[in-house]
């Protein structure tokens, strides 16, 4: 019955989970190329914030009007896992780096679709007025640009190089990358 | 003749009490299915059910209940196919396979996906040969419950975050093998019934080299051990034709410890959920057909869960016993 069921639904890509691989399959990256993978340069983007301001990535990179030492993007849909991650970032990671340069911590809301709804979600989850800026990715263009999903964290260096782009997991990679970037 | 009739009825009631035990599975991705327990003196059983699960907020990592974003409408439908077969007088095995449909709608986003869920393979051992259901308690032995010992292997046939998926909305399974040890105690003194079930599950560690379609530096992930318990009480009404209608209320508790990543605890993981359920089951006079309707409700209040969605689940199913 099991075999028949699987055949019926044409599920041909089961081995990823049934026999998972530990091979490193990351493709080689050309330094200086534009893209979403670590080692590549993040393309510039502009999004509205939840308080109706505008966030332009290049403004926070080297040469920008508000140049910072790192930009952290976290992609949220305001779900339990998302909140567990962003709470952990807020309570455990951010405090470690206060006083060490300047970091932009941004929650990228890719489900709300409007400034008003994103603001409501941000407020309901206790982040209004916090160190996070919430970006409204209404068309999911930035999500697609970084090939992101729920829980993806991206760290961008001042020269636009992507340092990490992966699931947040336990925040260790974020902590290590900020430790390497900040003075 | 009367004794035989009572014996058949007792067997049928055992079927009714035992066949509907459910162990709820995860969300944020993964689906649920039914562990089937075959009635005594029967050879096989087919079980088909449909679940409708509606998401209504969640408990955050502090255990506070939080509403979903405004305009969110999140649902999951599951078609569960199950088959149980007797291997020996006290041994039985079963398999259940869900097919999952995800419907996620936000104010700025809508996504509908579907796929196979995780498969469960179970084996059960019955402690006693005799039927433990009685009409009257005349001696202390009459209080001994039916005891079933079981083992369940969850096979990650569903779509997980580690498959080649676009995003989390494609997920229909957890991507991990899990071994559960199960205990089921059931006592019926007609027309009353009480059931307690418990399972303790351990996930197998697995390597991960891809997340949501992106290749990543390989690491090992293991979800935390899982405890699942259910306590239920039921009452059965018999018609003149000996058809039966059983009403059951239950309380379920689910807890999963934190995951580890390369052996290090992930403090953002782990979950807890408490829920209440009500079931109506209608059985034919020969008890070969049982139709069930279950409503499972998670309490949307602080402290009733942690790190987990709050949902209502309505299940409609039918079981057919093959003698």
| CATH number of the domain bearing residue B188 | 2.40.128.130
- Tally the domains of chain B: 1
Query: Taking CB atoms and an 8 Å cut-off, how many pairs form between chains A and B?
Result: 180
CA distances (Å), origin A110, targets A56, A107, A117, A122, A175: 17, 9, 11, 12, 24
Residue B160, in any domain of the structure: yes
- HSE-CB at B180 with a 13 A cutoff on CA atoms is 28
How confident is residue A13, by pLDDT bands cut at 50, 70 and 90? low
Q: Given CB atoms, is B286 within the 8 Å cutoff of chain A?
A: no
Query: Closest Cα to residue A146, out of A51, A48, A47?
Result: A47
Q: What is the ipTM of this complex?
A: 0.88
Q: Of B60, B167, B266, which has the smallest distance from its Cβ to A150's Cβ?
A: B167
- Taking CA–CA distances from A7, the nearest residue in chain B reads B116
Q: Given CB atoms, is B263 within the 8 Å cutoff of chain A?
A: no
CA–CA distance, A162 with A43 (Å, rounded to integer): 10
Q: Which residues in chain B have Cβ-Cβ distances shorter than 8 Å to A21?
A: 207, 209
Distance to chain B for A61, nearest Cα, Å: 25
Please confirm whether the linkage preceding B191 is cis (ω < 30° from 0).
yes
How confident is residue A5, by pLDDT bands cut at 50, 70 and 90? low
Residue B230, in any domain of the structure: yes
CA–CA distance, A42 with A157 (Å, rounded to integer): 9
Tokens linked to B139: 């001696």
Domain extent at residue B315: 44-322
CB–CB contact B216 A166 (8 Å): yes
Counting beta carbons within 10 angstroms of the beta carbon of residue A126, is it exposed (0 to 12), middle (13 to 18) or buried (19 or more)?
middle
CB–CB contact A124 B213 (8 Å): no
Beta strand ranges found along chain A (DSSP E): 46-49, 54-56, 70-76, 103-109, 132-136, 152-156, 162-167
The mean pLDDT of A160-183, rounded to a whole number, is: 96
Beta strands at A70-76 and A152-156: parallel, antiparallel or unpaired: antiparallel
Q: What pLDDT is attached to residue B35?
A: 54
- Taking CA–CA distances from A137, the nearest residue in chain B reads B108
CA–CA distance, B293 with B123 (Å, rounded to integer): 25
- Specify whether the CB–CB gap between B269 and A84 falls below 8 A: yes
| DSSP H or E run through A169 | none
pLDDT one digit per residue (tens) for chain B, 323 residues: 333 333 333 333 333 233 333 432 222 222 233 457 888 888 999 999 999 999 999 999 999 999 998 889 999 999 999 999 999 999 999 999 999 999 999 887 888 999 999 999 999 999 988 888 888 999 999 999 999 999 999 999 999 999 888 878 889 999 999 999 999 998 989 899 999 999 999 999 999 999 998 899 999 999 999 999 999 999 999 999 989 999 999 999 999 999 999 999 999 999 999 999 999 999 998 888 999 999 999 999 999 999 999 999 999 999 999 98
CB–CB contact A113 B309 (8 Å): no
Q: Of B70, B206, B266, which has the smallest distance from its Cβ to A169's Cβ?
A: B266
pTM for the predicted model, two decimal places? 0.87
Q: Which CATH number fits domain A41-181: 3.40.50.300, 3.30.2130.10, 3.40.30.10, 3.90.950.10?
A: 3.40.30.10
Residue B28, in any domain of the structure: no
Helices (H) and strands (E) in chain A, counts: 6, 7
Q: Of B108, B116, B213, which has the smallest distance from its Cβ to A138's Cβ?
A: B108
Beta strands at B305-306 and B264-265: parallel, antiparallel or unpaired: unpaired
Q: Which of B110, B268, B272, B304 would you mutate first to test chain A, the one with the most A CBs within 10 A? A: B268
- Per-position b or e across A60-83, b if 16+ CB within 10 A of its CB: bbeeeeeebbbbbbbbbbbbbbbb
Beta strands at B33-34 and B44-59: parallel, antiparallel or unpaired: unpaired
Sign of CA dihedral A85, A90, A91, A97: positive
Q: Given CB atoms, is B160 within the 8 Å cutoff of chain A?
A: yes
Q: What pLDDT is attached to residue B25?
A: 25
CB–CB contact A113 B214 (8 Å): no
Q: Given CB atoms, is A12 within the 8 Å cutoff of chain B?
A: no
Give the CA angle between residues B9, B12, B17 to the nearest 5°.
125
Q: What pLDDT is attached to residue B92?
A: 94
- Specify whether the CB–CB gap between B78 and B118 falls below 8 A: no
CA–CA distance, A48 with A119 (Å, rounded to integer): 11
Cross-strand bridge partners of residue B51:
B78, B315
CB–CB contact B60 A84 (8 Å): yes
Distance to chain B for A106, nearest Cα, Å: 18
How confident is residue A6, by pLDDT bands cut at 50, 70 and 90? low
Residue B3, in any domain of the structure: no
Tokens linked to B169: 């909305």
Tokens linked to A150: 């729920």
CB–CB contact A149 B107 (8 Å): no
Q: What pLDDT is attached to residue A16?
A: 83
Q: What pLDDT is attached to residue A181?
A: 96
Distance to chain B for A143, nearest Cα, Å: 10
- Specify whether the CB–CB gap between B230 and B195 falls below 8 A: yes
- Taking CA–CA distances from B29, the nearest residue in chain A reads A81
- Give the count of beta carbons closer than 10 Å to the beta carbon of residue B4: 8
DSSP calls for B103-157: EEEETTEEEEEEEE--EEEEEEEES-SS---BSS--SGGGGPPEEEEEEEEEE--
- Specify whether the CB–CB gap between B311 and B305 falls below 8 A: no
Q: Of B106, B156, B207, which has the smallest distance from its Cβ to A112's Cβ?
A: B106
A residues 80-99 lying closer than 8 A (beta carbon) to B: 80-81, 83-85, 87-88, 92
Q: Which residue has the tokens 């050309």?
A: A30
Q: Of B81, B164, B268, which has the smallest distance from its Cβ to A170's Cβ?
A: B268
Q: Which of A27, A84, A93, A146 would you mutate first to test chain B, the one with the most B CBs within 10 A? A: A84
User: What are the backbone dihedrals phi and psi of residue B182, each rounded to the nearest 5 degrees, phi first?
Assistant: -120, 145
Residue B1, in any domain of the structure: no
User: What are the backbone dihedrals phi and psi of residue B7, each rounded to the nearest 5 degrees, phi first?
Assistant: -65, -45
Distance to chain B for A84, nearest Cα, Å: 5
Distance to chain A for B103, nearest Cα, Å: 14
- Taking CA–CA distances from B211, the nearest residue in chain A reads A167
CA–CA distance, B275 with B258 (Å, rounded to integer): 21
Q: Of A5, A23, A170, which has the smallest distance from its Cβ to B209's Cβ?
A: A23
Q: Given CB atoms, is A6 within the 8 Å cutoff of chain B?
A: yes
CA–CA distance, B37 with B118 (Å, rounded to integer): 19
Residue B22, in any domain of the structure: no
Q: Is B191 helix (H, G, I), strand (E, B) or coil?
A: coil
Tokens linked to B216: 């990543």
CA–CA distance, B248 with B191 (Å, rounded to integer): 12
Q: Is B72 helix (H, G, I), strand (E, B) or coil?
A: coil
Residue B72, in any domain of the structure: yes
């Amino acid at each position: 019955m099991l075999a028949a069921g699987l055949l019926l639904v044409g599920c041909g890509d089961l081995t990823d989970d049934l026999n998972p691989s530990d091979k490193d399959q990351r493709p080689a990256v050309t330094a200086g190329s534009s893209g979403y993978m670590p080692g590549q340069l993040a393309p510039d983007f502009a999004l509205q914030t939840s308080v109706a301001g505008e966030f332009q990535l290049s403004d926070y990179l080297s040469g920008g009007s508000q140049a910072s030492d790192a930009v952290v993007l976290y992609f949220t849909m305001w779900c339990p896992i998302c909140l567990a991650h962003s709470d952990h970032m807020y309570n455990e990671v951010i405090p470690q780096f206060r006083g060490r340069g300047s970091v932009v911590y941004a929650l990228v809301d890719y489900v709300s679709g409007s400034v008003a709804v994103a603001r409501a979600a941000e407020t309901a989850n206790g982040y209004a007025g916090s160190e996070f800026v919430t970006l409204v990715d209404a068309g999911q263009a930035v999500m697609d640009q970084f090939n992101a999903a729920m829980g993806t964290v991206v760290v961008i260096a001042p020269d636009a190089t992507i340092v990490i782009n992966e699931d947040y997991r336990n925040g260790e990679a974020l902590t290590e990358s900020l430790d390497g970037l900040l003075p | 003749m009367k004794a035989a009739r009572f014996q058949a009825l007792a067997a049928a009631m055992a079927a009714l009490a035992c066949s509907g035990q459910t162990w709820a599975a995860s969300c944020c991705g993964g689906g649920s299915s039914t562990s089937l327990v075959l009635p005594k003196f029967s050879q096989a059983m087919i079980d088909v059910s449909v679940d409708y699960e509606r998401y209504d907020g969640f408990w955050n990592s502090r255990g506070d209940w939080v509403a979903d974003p405004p305009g969110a409408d999140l649902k999951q439908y599951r078609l569960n196919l199950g088959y149980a077969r007797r291997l020996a007088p006290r041994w039985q095995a079963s398999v259940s396979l869900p097919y999952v449909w995800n419907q996620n709608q936000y104010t700025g986003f809508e996504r509908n996906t579907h796929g196979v869920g995780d498969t469960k393979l179970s084996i059960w051992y019955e402690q006693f040969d005799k039927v433990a259901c009685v009409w009257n308690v005349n001696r202390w032995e009459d209080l001994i419950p039916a005891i079933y010992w079981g083992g369940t292997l969850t096979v990650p046939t569903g779509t997980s975050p580690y498959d080649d998926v676009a995003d989390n909305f494609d997920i229909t399974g957890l991507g991990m093998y899990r071994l559960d040890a199960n205990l089921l105690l059931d006592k019926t003194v007609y027309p009353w019934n009480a059931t307690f079930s418990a399972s303790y599950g351990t996930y197998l560690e697995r390597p991960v080299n891809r997340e949501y379609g992106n290749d990543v530096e390989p690491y090992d992930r293991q979800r935390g051990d899982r405890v699942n318990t259910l306590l239920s009480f039921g009452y059965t009404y018999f018609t003149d034709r000996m058809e039966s209608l059983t009403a059951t209320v239950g309380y379920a508790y689910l807890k999963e410890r934190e995951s580890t990543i390369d052996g290090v605890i992930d403090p953002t993981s782990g979950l807890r959920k408490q829920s209440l359920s009500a079931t109506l089951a209608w059985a034919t006079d020969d008890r070969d057909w049982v139709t069930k309707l279950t409503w499972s409700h998670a309490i949307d209040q602080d402290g009733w869960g942690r790190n987990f969605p709050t949902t209502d689940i309505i299940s409609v199913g039918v079981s057919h016993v093959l003698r």
